[in-house]
Structure 1
């Protein structure tokens, strides 16, 4: 190939853009050399489009200023293999392609049928003028549209046969569905530019069709030479124009960004068409779309939790982070202060067994290489604020949890769940993989939903998650500023004498032994209102709680303080007694506390209210009374 030294077309040129399409079936070799030469010349001329090369020939769609296009065609024709190229041309005001691609493919039009070699044999070609004459005369002929269904639906010849294709590779199946009568009658095939018919014709002859013709140059050549007679609609083209009319001018037809369906000007006026979001072909009601999404989430939750992620033995790394209050303590002092329930002797044993190790930092560029400390660590080693350690638990198998997480709502910003119990929200103690946080990360991967508030492991009910950090910060601030409306259901021991009561007792700033927060006049202020819903014959009552503040264990501690501890609570017991704050097993009787509803504002400051279905312990009692 040789190239003219004419200057490249300027990208600032205001001349019209010429679109050319062309193909030729011809045996080619030296594909890499041809690819490099074609790409180099196209870039010199500032052209854009696609050129496909294979051992069976060339297929191209290229656009650019007229002078540049003509130079490019001359360049291609300088190769003897392409000397007789006859591109079809059309014009428009903008560049319909984003970049210049030159690719080597197995076939220049995918078909995948052995024995079909257009360079050696193809069906007789019928010119556009000859086809028009046949149709004007009313000659008996079957017009066969070899294109895909969405192309056919946009526009085709009058009375053309639709083959029911989603891809040209399905053409053999479409031929098998044709009437046997067509095998002995004239059939004129057509497609956009003619290339598909080059392979479709020989295949039909192999299948026993005796009078097969192909429209030379396809629909575009027909438009160019004779216009739109005997044709209705538009013609789909494979560039940003989407479709052209019989005068080869771009039409208002577009393609849906989501499903790639063709959207006509009339369909663009329908409410189902939202640019970038939906079209009449892919639109479904928001409720239906959400229902389908939620169904898929539940299926994924079922897959992830059967078996539970923590049911197989693994090396569990439990984090031990040094808070400010523990800065400059010895290692043993820090551990005893952080988890006093374990005991000093047990911590010393774990240190000696090298199960307490420094957390390996995340490697980053330009950071000095991390040098691990010798193990075991010294119990007298001084710890620094913010320092991180891991407590290793080899061959860990986590206790079972309830995993029937129910997705109540999901949109582009929010996920609303009903959390079962017992199920820890975050990693803690014996739980790392069998946590809501870990399960959600697996189900929504690669998204990591932001949990903006907490529920105790033994508390069931509504939880709010956000998909974006910006939205999470907006919602989280509402929790911090006590702007979120919340209600809880609780089944308690005893019958309160009044139907409405409240508790303003302050709660301790730090957890006592067993992880329990006690009533402390010098602690954090806390306020909860209660409403008695039912009093039962077994001595229990169903109450609704309205927390005005959000302290840890607030509802549980306040009901215990009032003398009405929650049924099943392992920490706040009857008779003013205390147990320990631990996660129950699914096989144990539940702690009867349920987050019933929540009201907050979304990122657009619109009020959102969600409710979680009541658990069995609440619905059973109420239905029996009813």
Structure 2
């Protein structure tokens, strides 16, 4: 099948005016002639890449050359079996080719042009000449002249910096620069002369004109072009080089044989191992989370309604009585003040305490123009897939919205980043505790994962730095933990409490009187590790609630400036809810677990 599509490339540096009017005329004409490609109109001239029928191309050229400013427009021509362009664009810009250097005006002055036949003669005579390829690296890899020096750039605007790196001795030698069609050399040449290069030439018409007149003599490979053909051979025919859909890099025929070439997903240039892709995804998510937390979401005043649900046992009771039953620690007088201020609502409307409630109803306590305490939002994603999200949680940071914290909570922050998804925590972690938190991406995945936590099938390992040196190296604690919270919000050991078991192992005893301990909870009670170590006379450093001497503190979530609770959810392992395969994750130990004085230079083995 003989090629039927005519491809032309042309540029001309000449002052042009009335650019908007020219654009409208050319848009209408190219539409009428069924042409596709790009025409750039600028105050310094015209640049175009057009493809279509012979009649259409010739009619366009006739129109352009009828303008006195474009009479001398010269084109390079090639042929293809298919239309290489998707659409037709006629654009107005400031420069034909973006360079960013003032005082370079090719219509007023440009470097000497060396005809293609003359360059071939020079190369055949083995003349002392520096062939300088001013194209981008991804173009050079497709093909270039034998012995050519590449500029080593990713964009033409980087060309001035590349010239500065050339050896001084090159300034005294003949330099022949070249590009695809010659347009970049129109600006690159004068710049090199300004930089002190004494004998500068540009290949007239670029590589494509050389192919037209000289074929592939002294040239290795093909020439990259900016259309669907990707590259042309020295015979000006579409070559076997293709382009990666994912990264847009040209893919040579030999690269297409690589096992890393998987169109349209990847090629040898952009292929990433699963580990690399995960690292890049996590880094991107970290940036999104950081942006969502600057400023902290709870730092801006807002109105918040905390829900109050009416259980069956309080059906048909006055609202005031129901509130006293539900919140026995809050005096009725306080609720009276809340209701009087219109801050007790049902379906958005204020209600009074004598209202008779029905089971299943939801009321709300309105807090107006509130701001939340500051938290540590240095959240890092360790793993993400369609089912799971694994986070390294900082502290202090509550997981769930509660109490004084609503928007300044892990769950709320992640929902802003992952919306419309709502990642669901699969387990608990105290606001003051750092480390691994596993979340599921949907209710369906939660239904498959959470039973593993409930059945005790999840292997969890914590690090804790405690006050004191235990007399044992390994031990366990099975002290039952109370079912009810104390006035301060903490729990205590209670013979009638819930069965609990934690295994402990000493990792390092420090000269400052503290010890680094590995803790493995075999049950999942509230504050279990903290309570068991406290019960053993080894309270965790920085714990505001479980204090030395068996005392209970009065704080739950510590202030961000307070010393950190030295408890870290270090490792976790479970069966992936998708396929049942065992997976394991590790959160890097915090500073308090690695940067402390030791009795010896031995490491604690926390890598």
Query: TM-score by structure 2 length?
Result: 0.74
Query: In the TM superposition, what are the counterparts of 1:237-248 in structure 2 within 5 Å?
Result: 237-248=225-236
Shift of residue 479, structure 1, vs aligned partner: 0.7
CA 527–259 in structure 1, closer or farther in 2 if over 3 Å, else same? farther
Do structure 1's residue 450 and structure 2's residue 423 form an aligned pair?
yes
Q: Which deviates more, 400-409 or 59-68?
A: 400-409
- Cα shift at 1:297: 7.5
User: Which of 182, 189, 192 is the matching residue for 2:180?
Assistant: 192
Between the aligned partners of 1:113 and 1:571, the Cα distance in structure 2 is 65
Work out whether 1:125 is the aligned partner of 2:113. yes
Q: 2:460 aligns with which of 487, 492, 517?
A: 487
Q: Which residue of 1 aligns with 2:309?
A: 323
- Partner of residue 409 from structure 2, selected from 423, 430, 435: 435
CA contact (8 A) 1:556 1:566 kept: no
1:188 offset after TM fit, Å?
3.0
1:291-316 deviation per Cα after TM superposition (whole angstroms, max 9, x unaligned): 67767888998999899776x6x535
Work out which of the residue numbers 212, 224, 235 in structure 2 matches 1:224: 212
Q: CA deviation at 1:618?
A: 9.3
Is the alpha carbon distance of 1:341 and 1:193 closer, same or farther for their aligned partners in structure 2, counting shifts above 3 Å?
same
For 2:471 and 2:125, how far apart are their aligned partners in 1?
96
Is 1:600 the counterpart of 2:585? The answer is no
Aligned to 2:449: 478
Match of 1:364 in 2: none
Offset of residue 464 of structure 1: 1.5
Query: 2:308, 2:362 within 8 Å by CA — same for their partners in 1?
Result: yes
Q: C-alpha deviations, 1:557-591, integer Å up to 9, x for none?
A: 9979xx98995688899999999894355747949
Counterparts of 1:140-179 in structure 2, within 5 Å, are: 140-178=128-166
Say if 1:317 and 1:143 are closer, same or farther in 2 by CA, change over 3 A.
same
Aligned to 1:3: none
Conserved? CA contact 1:54–1:107, under 8 Å: yes
CA shift in 2, pair 1:570/1:201, >3 Å: closer
Specify the alignment match of 2:29 in structure 1. Answer: 41
Residue 610 (structure 1) aligned with residue 585 (structure 2)? yes
Can you list the C-alpha shifts for 1:308-359, whole angstroms capped at 9, x where unaligned?
776x6x5354432243537877654565455443332112223334555678
Deviation at 1:272, TM superposition (A): 5.3
Are 2:3 and 2:80, in contact at CA under 8 Å, matched by a contact in 1? no
Unaligned runs of 5+ in 1: 1-12, 361-372
Closer/same/farther in 2, CA of residues 23 and 183 from structure 1, 3 Å limit: same
State the aligned residue count: 584
Between the aligned partners of 1:49 and 1:152, the Cα distance in structure 2 is: 23
Partner SS state of residue 186, structure 2: helix
Tell which deviates more after alignment, 601-610 or 293-302. 293-302
TM-aligned CA distance change 1:196 to 1:546, over 3 Å: same
Question: Is residue 2:387 matched to residue 1:423?
Answer: no
SS at match of 1:125: strand
Instruction: Name whichever of 158-167 and 49-58 sits farther off.
Output: 158-167
1:104: Cα distance to partner? Answer: 0.4
- In 2, Cα distance between the equivalents of 1:621 and 1:217? 71
CA shift for structure 1 position 431: 2.0
| SS of corresponding position for 1:103 | strand
The answer as to 2:392 corresponding to 1:391 is no
User: Does the CA-based 8 Å contact 1:596-1:613 persist in structure 2?
Assistant: no
- Over 3 Å counting, the alpha-carbon distance change for 1:165 and 1:52 in structure 2 is same
Question: Counterparts in 2 of 1:491-510, with a 5 A limit?
Answer: none
Residues 352-373 of structure 1: CA distance to partner in whole angstroms, max 9, x if unpaired?
A: 345556787xxxxxxxxxxxx5
**8 Å CA contact 2:479, 2:493 repeated in 1:** no
Measured at CA, do residues 617 and 165 of structure 1 come closer, stay the same or move farther in structure 2, by a change above 3 Å? Answer: closer
Q: Could you say which residue in structure 2 is the equivalent of 1:462?
A: 436
The question of whether the paired residues in 2 share the 8 Å contact of 1:601 and 1:608 is answered with: yes
Alignment partner of 1:24 is 2:33: no
**Structure 1 equivalent of residue 336 of structure 2:** 348
> Among 34, 47, 58, which residue is 2:46 paired with?
58
**TM-superposed deviation, 1:106:** 0.2
For 1:529-544, list aligned pairs within 5 A. 530-531=502-503, 533=505, 544=520
CA distance in structure 2 between the partners assigned to 1:58 and 1:238 by the alignment: 17
| Paired position in structure 2 for 1:10 | none
More displaced stretch, 277-286 vs 92-101: 277-286
RMSD (CA atoms):
5.4
Give deviations 1:186-236, integer Å, cap 9, x for gaps.
443321011122233344455565654332221111112221001112212
**1:362-386, CA deviations, whole angstroms, 9 ceiling, x for partnerless residues?**
xxxxxxxxxxx5xx75444577857
TM-score by length of 1: 0.72
